[in-house]
Structure 1
Amino acid sequence: MGFVSQIDTGSDRFAKNRDDMIALVEQLRELEAKAVALSERRRPRFEERGQITPRERLARLLDPGMPFVQLHALAGYLVDSSDPEKSVPGSSLIVGIGFVSGVRCMVWVDDSGIKAGAMGKMSLPAVLSIQALARRHKLPLVHLVESAGANLMEYKVEGWAHAGALFRNLALLSAEGIPTITVLHGPSTAGGAYMPGLSDYVIGVKKNGMAALAGAALVHAATGEKADERELGGSEMHASTSGLVEYLAEDDAHGIAIARDVVRRLDWNKRLAPQGERAFEEPKYDPDELAGVVPADYRTPYDVREVVARFADGSDFEDFKPRYGLSTVCLQGAINGIACGIIGNNGPIDPAGATKAAQFIQLCDQADMPIVFLNNTTGYMVGTEYEQAGMIKHGAKMIQAVSNARVPKITLYIGASFGAGNYGMSGVAFEPDFLFAWPNATTGVMGGEQAAGTMTMVARVAAQRKGEEVDEEALAGQHKMIAAHFDRQSDAFFTSGRCLDHGIIDPRDTRKVLGFCLETCLESRNRTLRPNAFGVARM
């Protein structure tokens, strides 16, 4: 017998929760649409050059009807500009995991409709993130290139220094036996020239594809030479003279067709251990109800089991130690037929909850069972009672277990994720295999009210110690300012803009996203590579 829900989907509370969550999802979609609309404005210029747009390139690359999970769609939001109206998410990139000729691949498309594809402040963190995912999950990387390179108006020397990791990672991918396939749709200059230079397969598009360490303008400024752009770095030259390009394409569509053919001929799945068909039941409770199950305000309590019942197979799971450490919920269930452990929060983590979670994580590791973390906690309990009960050492056990578990870990921020509770629940610093957030998620050292209350108390004590009279009006102003400061930084849209997750998802898509991620993890762990001492050198 599976879980029996206590949610009344006809109640006013459910309706309010749903309205609040749908409003946040609509805000997410509006932000995503900003980048699409801005890029689309350049369509006439693409057509003038005989090109197709970046999103049309992506559509032609991916297998029709197969899932594509976009990553870092909000990268750069409220980073390039603090004004929400002026800030455009995406950082001139479209990245994600999808299928190319039947092969699960990491896909990276330069959105050259925005600032000519120039990299913004968060482009590098986003790219390093997807490269790490490609390495961890043994995903061929397909890059559709057309970029003006670094945005010199935002250039800082540390950005250049850290950007070297982008090229190092390409070399490591190749050496580990994970190929990179690049299509040169347009310019790839300066450091970007090493993108094709360090790829395993390069397709160059005639007339528009171009790679050079310095463009014609820079060459003239540096050496006085008046170079022809196409002779300097055009795809035709690289295909016939330098040897940088393996395949010469007539146009964008042809280049993408060649890329798909290259991936097909890799026969990539031949070293994938066969996986039997997994039988499973759909959840008994509709995943669409997730929009109304969870309140947008993390301070309103709910039972996390109600969430699991709407994404777990058959809405069926086993509750591990349900009478012990009540606010920490550990469940054994399955998603798309893949057995997994699920850890969620019904409040702060106390000593009993921490020890229960630590044991459960170790058991999952012993059974080679992936773990899903559902974050909704204000952190570990504080106070004399909990300190004397060993909160520090028991919390440390949980963090030890999370840090050293060898099984796949997938984290969802579905409410609050504060302080060390974020660490114990496999937050971003613990490098889970995948990390997504719901649009209502709130993450940070603590909530705005708690932070403001703490600082107000510190100010009162300081004034009393000095024998000064407390200025209540000033304290009230300070309290309001601090609360607003912390709340703004903990907002899901703000943190996702800083690449502190892999993206924000609609709660109603949770089962699909978790299933896709679990299948990606399972596939990578059953795939055998042929590593080399060095990456494949271009000859």
Structure 2
Amino acid sequence: MPLSSAFASYAAATPLGAASVLHQPYTPARVSVESANAAVLAKLHADLAAARLGGGSKAVMRHRSRSKLLPRERIDAILDEGSPFLELSPLAGYDLYGEEAVPAGGLVTGIANDATVKGGTYYPITVKKHLRLQEVAAACRLPCLYLVDSGGANLPRQAEVFPDRDHFGRIFYNQARMSAAGLPQLAVVLGSCTAGGAYMPAMADESVIVAGNGTIFLAGPPLVKAAMDSSSKGGAKVRGAADPRAILARILDGSKFDEFKANYGRTLVTGFGRMYGQSVGVVANAGVLRSDAALKGSHFIQLCCQRGVPLLFLQDINGFMVGRTAEAGGIAKDGAKMVMAVACASVPKVTVIVGGSYGAGNYGMSGRAYSPSFLYMWPTARIGVMGGEQAAGVLAQVEAEKHKRDAGSSHGPAAPSRAWGPQQAAAFKQAMTEKYE
């Protein structure tokens, strides 16, 4: 069909109004482009201003009462006078979680946690924003400065934050890889940094802690209390733990295993064996990771990389040891060393989760975020920021504090909905245990 005939057929089949809509002349009745753009820009500026307010007036007042600057004030104080600062993704988290506001994703990327937004904890969008900045920094070979004031992963959303490749653990993987590539990783601890929040300064090349405000805990007081309580109810003495050597006897050629440092760091079993004739280095859990076990694991992983021996990880771990003694003994630093060794390993890694895989233990044992060549899960496998009992204990303490704070801020007697006693606490813990197990 000739081109002119095709146009004629189209014109005949198209209503006059539809065919001529692109040719309508400008009239005052039509909305002007300028006013439409002005309205959109006004809303954008209003949304940006709202995001800069952080977690709201109450959270900001509580933050300032601790003699702490807001994140953008911290950045302004650090930058050279008059130098520009490009904030990436300032509207991340905008209207993303319904009534649960997370302005700017709780993170100012350059990088500074906003503790006025959910205690600086990491929502899915926070993780995405942080990873995006690290991607930009790695591509442009820029050093990273982390202004840390964070409670780690957001516990109620751990399924969206913790287990997968581009989740929370990938932040520390990237941090280790960039440091190894010669890109400085610097951290300033400006508040209470717990769990994942503690690993950013622990894995940095250099860290500064602000006296009076800065703290680093692998586990804050609520988790330590919950861990101690659950240990007495369902710890190793009650439930027992599988001996990884029994598993190795069934999967290694001839059940032969040459153990490395058998009498040191006994909660981690390391050594050499063969599978289908191929030499492998085995890293297997035999309990919670303590400082000596983490150092042993780091040494062994680096030795395998030096010799070109692939690594097999058998995960069954509740995490790194918590408590005053462990923290004073340097568990954060020693655990970070093992995580860094795993992240920078240059040999193939295969991970098998045979039992629990909780918290930073998942990172130190080559979880999904640490790019194992393969990751397998037995039917008994469980993954989470922490075990169900510990999660329930932590959230129950947080909920009790929230009710106490709400009751203290109310005028007159507390409303019935604010009542919180042993019965409510027990019911809440039961519901949370069932949710997270």
In the superposition, the TM-score normalised over structure 1's length comes to: 0.36
In the superposition, the TM-score normalised over structure 2's length comes to: 0.44
Larger radius of gyration: 2
Greater relative CO (CA pairs within 8 A, separation 6+): 1
